[in-house]
């Protein structure tokens, strides 16, 4: 008999180090559209991002991340009550196989990737780190990505990926970028109280997932998958 060693390195082991991962409001989830209630009279979701400040994209060891470095921005309304949130960073999740990259699924369907714009509650807390530990501390805008036409704004990031192939690599954008251009045209969304989808899996996120996927080209998916794999220094 050959001894079988099952090496569990994925989410199943996170509970050992991050007790929050055993919680009651863990993300991601499957959005069962038939069970979603209508938004009723929620106020409109409103956002404003600065465009011309210098930004850099970094390889944190998985996918890529753009830090906003405290530059002015605002997200308010919708499910966020009277609090004002500020963009901290935005990043992506791509799968190892095309078509299976998103974290959230909709009626069991996965998408090619998922963009997260991470905001923190500046009305109640003094820093991202403080807010990231509070139930109403963070708000993440989720954008589902599907293969279609090339996305020009996202291309400003994708074309820099060859320069951040290893964990810790960082490169500065040479042109202005408007995060609002990463969002879909129609802004209908699902929202639910959830958590960070990666360790420490803290249950501090009001999720706002746009219903309309945004199109990216097959080449942009390929480049993300390629450098995503490299980004993991595989």
Ligand X SMILES: NS(O)(O)c1ccc(OCc2cn(-c3ccccc3)nn2)cc1
The residues binding ligand X (CB under 6 A) are: 116, 118, 129, 132-133, 140, 196-198, 200, 202, 205
**At closest approach, how far in Å is the CB of 116 from Zn ion?**
4
**At closest approach, how far in Å is the CB of 140 from ligand X?**
5
Distance CA(184)–CA(169), nearest Å, equals: 29
**At closest approach, how far in Å is the CB of 151 from Zn ion?**
18
**110, 144 in Cβ contact below 8 A?**
no
Distance CA(90)–CA(65), nearest Å, equals: 6
Q: Which does 202 bind (CB under 5 to 8 A by kind): ligand X, Zn ion, none?
A: ligand X
**At closest approach, how far in Å is the CB of 139 from Zn ion?**
13
- State the DSSP H helix or E strand holding residue 130, giving kind and residue range, or none if neither: helix 128-131
**At closest approach, how far in Å is the CB of 198 from ligand X?**
5
Q: Closest CB to Zn ion among 116 and 119?
A: 116
Q: Closest CB to ligand X among 133 and 193?
A: 133
3-class state of residue 40 by DSSP: coil
**203, 26 in Cβ contact below 8 A?**
yes
Q: Which does 172 bind (CB under 5 to 8 A by kind): ligand X, Zn ion, none?
A: none
Q: Closest CB to ligand X among 202 and 220?
A: 202
Q: Is 184 exposed, middle or buried (0-12, 13-18, 19+ CB in 10 A)?
A: middle
Closest CA to 104 of 36, 27, 39: 27
**At closest approach, how far in Å is the CB of 115 from Zn ion?**
8
Binding test (CB under 5 A) with Zn ion, winner from 116, 119, 151, 156: 116
**15, 21 in Cβ contact below 8 A?**
yes
Q: What is the 8-class DSSP label of residue 132?
A: T
Q: Closest CB to Zn ion among 39 and 198?
A: 198
**113, 147 in Cβ contact below 8 A?**
no
Q: Closest CB to ligand X among 197 and 224?
A: 197
Cis check for the bond before 206: say yes or no (omega within 30 of 0). no
3-class state of residue 34 by DSSP: helix
Question: Binding residues for Zn ion, how many (CB under 5 A)?
Answer: 1
Q: Closest CB to Zn ion among 116 and 151?
A: 116
119 belongs to the binding site for Zn ion (CB under 5 A): no
Residues near Zn ion (CB under 5 A) are 116
């Amino acid at each position: 008999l050959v001894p079988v060693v099952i090496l569990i390195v994925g989410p199943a082991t996170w509970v050992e180090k991050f007790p929050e991962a055993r919680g009651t409001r863990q993300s991601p989830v499957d959005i069962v559209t038939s069970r979603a209630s209508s938004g009723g009279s929620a106020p409109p979701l409103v956002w404003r991002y600065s465009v011309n400040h210098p930004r850099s994209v970094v390889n944190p060891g998985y996918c890529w991340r753009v830090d906003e470095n405290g530059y002015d921005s605002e997200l308010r309304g919708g499910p966020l009550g009277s609090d004002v949130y500020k963009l901290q960073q935005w990043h992506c999740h791509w799968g190892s196989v095309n078509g299976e990259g998103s974290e959230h699924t909709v009626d069991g369907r996965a998408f090619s990737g998922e963009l997260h714009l991470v905001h923190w509650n500046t009305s109640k807390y003094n820093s991202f780190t403080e807010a990231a530990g509070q139930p109403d501390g963070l708000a993440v805008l989720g954008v589902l990505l599907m293969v279609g036409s090339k996305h020009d704004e996202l291309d400003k990031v994708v074309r820099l990926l060859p320069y951040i192939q290893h964990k810790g690599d960082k490169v500065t954008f040479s042109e202005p970028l408007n995060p609002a251009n990463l969002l879909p045209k129609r802004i209908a969304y699902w929202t639910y109280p959830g958590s960070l989808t990666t360790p420490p899996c803290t249950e501090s996120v009001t999720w706002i997932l746009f219903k309309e996927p945004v199109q990216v080209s097959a080449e942009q998916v390929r480049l993300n998958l390629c450098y995503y794999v490299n980004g993991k220094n595989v």
